[in-house]
Each structure stands twice: as structure tokens, then as C-alpha cells.
Amino acid sequence: MYQYDYLIVGAGLYGAVMAHELHKKGKHCLVIDRRDHIAGNIYCEEIEGIHVHKYGAHIFHTSNQKVWEYINQFAEFNNYINSPIAVYKDELYNLPFNMNTFSKMWGIRTPGEAKEMIAKQVAECQITEPKNLEEQALSLGGRDVYEKLIKGYTEKQWGRDCKELPAFIIKRLPFRFTYDNNYFNDRYQGIPIGGYNGIIEKMLEGVEVRTGVDFFEFRKEQADIAEKIIFTGMIDEYFEYRLGALEYRSVRFETEVLDCDNYQGNAVVNYTEREVPYTRIIEHKHFEFGQQPHTIITKEYPQSYQIGGEPYYPINNEKNMKTIKQYKEKSIYYSNVLFGGRLAQYAYLDMDDTIEAALYLAKKELNS
């Protein structure tokens, strides 16, 4: 006789949605997490009245009305609009690439002038079959956009020269020929008032949760504690790396409290020069329009991932795609283990994608 219907490994967004949906239908769930807190990478740490996005900025955005209505059960969202800024040397540009960007870069005013300038620069590059990311970006946007806003940032993110990166990483450049700094095209967008922790706490109401628990140690002693396992960790780690280790990029966060009320005037500022070691600075108070007399910033430093570190971004090259395919094929034979979430699927998932995927699996489970 099992003690629980489900052991859910990971108290992040995916695990919490699964636990909530299964618990509602009377399933007995135990949620464990290796970290000493719930909420996974959307965890917010409150420091001096400011909600700090501990694992990088998370802005909720979606065009899926059902997902938007679902998440709004658990929190009220503010009207924050993500409008990042890029700094290149002593120049400052609006993102995404839009008419404000082009006007600043070339001293022009109309969409026609912007399109003409881009077409002229693309033609000058004379690239018909891009062999790498650099050639791909030049063939799509020309030299100015590439040199000032793409090259350095991308090289820091991936830890490699753009000439060494595959062309398929950039399929298109999201040019907008309107004066619109809203980074996302989605219908719904915002930050939960009070941070993300409250959402996960509400999802997990009535569910037993244990933090600071390593699944791989736990299962040695409690192998038969639940009828099924929902695993949201790294799929290669689950299988003890038998088919090889999947590759990731990681990020180091450097957070500091500053004795000023407003450091950069925007929540997200990207630094696009290769020589600046961090990719961006987050000023957390601006996510919730804070009026505190001090501020908190976080610098993000991309770095290579080592086993035992924090995996963030999957590296979608041929080698890793082959390896994850093999792991997914292997997982089919483990009928009592369900794999879900960004690490178990080896995919970059936005929060709305994560919720949609968890709701789909929960419904499938409950109907089986």
C-alpha cells in the first residue's frame, strides 16, 4: 500500500500546478524540493521591502486567455509592461528593435527610412548562405544592429564567438516598424503584486511539502512511498547520465542594496558590449513601481554549467538534441514516472507554457 498517490519532485511552477490540480481531485500528494524554499526559479526574496527575483527577472506574459484566467486565481497582477533598454558604450537604445531604436541609431523618423537603411546594410554584407550566427544576423539586419545590439550580448550569453555559433539560433530578427517599446506581443502581461511566492503558496495549500530534500537520497530510503512520481528535475540526472550529460548555460547573480532611490530608471537594462562582463542589470523595485528610499540591483553573469551547478538554458545543438531524444525514448518505459517542466523536457519554457503543459498532463492523468 502506497503512502501517497503522487510524489512530485520540484516545488516550482510546474510541480505546484500539478499538485494543485491533483489535490483538488482528492489525490494524496507529497511535494519535495532540493532547495530550502518553494517556487523554483520564480522565487522572490524580500529584502528591505523589495521583492527580489532571486533567479533572474520573471515577467508573466501570455496570449492564452485560459492560462491568464488560471494564474489570476492565485494573485492580482499589476500593469507592468516589459520595456528593456540596451546600453552600448555611451549609447542607449530601446528594445525590442523598433522605430525608437532605429531613430536613435540613424537619425531617421519614418518606417520607410528604417526599412531602406536595413535593406542597404543587408545588401552591403553580400551574404546569401549564412554559415554561422554572425552571417545570419548580418544577412537579416545589417551591420549596425548586429554590432551594437546582437554580437556582444549573444557572445556573453553563449560563451562563444558568434562565428562559432550555428546560424539556426537566429531564425529572424523581430523588427517592429512602430514606436512601441513593449517587448512582448502578448495580450496579457504583468507582475503578481507581492511577488510570485504567494502564487505557489496558494497552489500548494493543503498539500504536504518538504523542502531541503534531495530526491536521489530520498528514494534510497523511500523507494515505494508513492504510486507515481512526477519528476521536474534534470532528466539526464534521473537516469544517472547513462546516455550522456546534457549541456546547459548557467548564470551567476550578483545582488546589492544601493543607498539611492533609483539607480537606472528601468527594471531591465541590457549591456551589449562583450567587454562588459554581465549581460544585464535588473532593478527589482521597478517591477512593482516601488517608492522605497533605497534600491536593489542584480547583475547577471552568464557562465558555463558544471554538474552540481544551476542549469538555466539548454544548448540546442545537434549533440544535445540527439541525447534528449534518447532520454525521452527511454522514459517511455518508466510508466510510473512522469517527466515535466523545463529541465525534464530539456526546453526553454515561458511561465505560460509551463502552466499549459502541467494542466495538460494533470488532465490526462485524472482521465486515465
- Reduced to 3 states, what is the DSSP secondary structure of residue 337? strand
- Considering the candidates 6, 80, 155, 280, report the single residue annotated as catalytic: 280
- What is the total residue count of the chain? 368
- Considering the candidates 249, 263, 273, 313, report the single residue annotated as catalytic: 249
CB atoms within 10 A of CB 197: 19
Contact in structure between 204 and 21 (CB atoms under 8 Å): no
Contact in structure between 358 and 339 (CB atoms under 8 Å): no
Burial of 143 (0-12, 13-18, 19+ CB in 10 A): middle
To the query of whether residue 348 is one of the catalytic residues in this protein, the response is: yes
To the query of whether residue 300 is one of the catalytic residues in this protein, the response is: yes
Cell of 111: 518606417
Host H or E run for residue 351: helix 351-366
Tally of CA atoms within 13 A in the half-sphere of 317 that contains its CB:
12
Residues ≥6 apart with Cβ < 8 Å to 48:
257, 292, 294, 296
- Considering the candidates 300, 352, 356, 365, report the single residue annotated as catalytic: 300
Query: What b/e readout covers 287-307, taking b as 16+ CB neighbours within 10 angstroms?
Result: bbebeeebbbbbbbebeebee
Farthest CA pair distance, the chain: 73
To the query of whether residue 249 is one of the catalytic residues in this protein, the response is: yes
| Whole-angstrom distance, CA of residue 292 vs CA of residue 295 | 7
- Considering the candidates 14, 176, 238, 305, report the single residue annotated as catalytic: 176
To the query of whether residue 350 is one of the catalytic residues in this protein, the response is: yes
- Considering the candidates 36, 90, 172, 333, report the single residue annotated as catalytic: 172
CB atoms within 10 A of CB 320: 18
H runs (alpha helix) in 204-347: 215-221, 235-238, 318-331, 342-345
DSSP notation for 28-76: -EEEEESSSSSSGGG-EEEETTEEEETTS---EEES-HHHHHHHTTT--
* Residues recognised as catalytic: 172, 176, 249, 280, 300, 348, 350
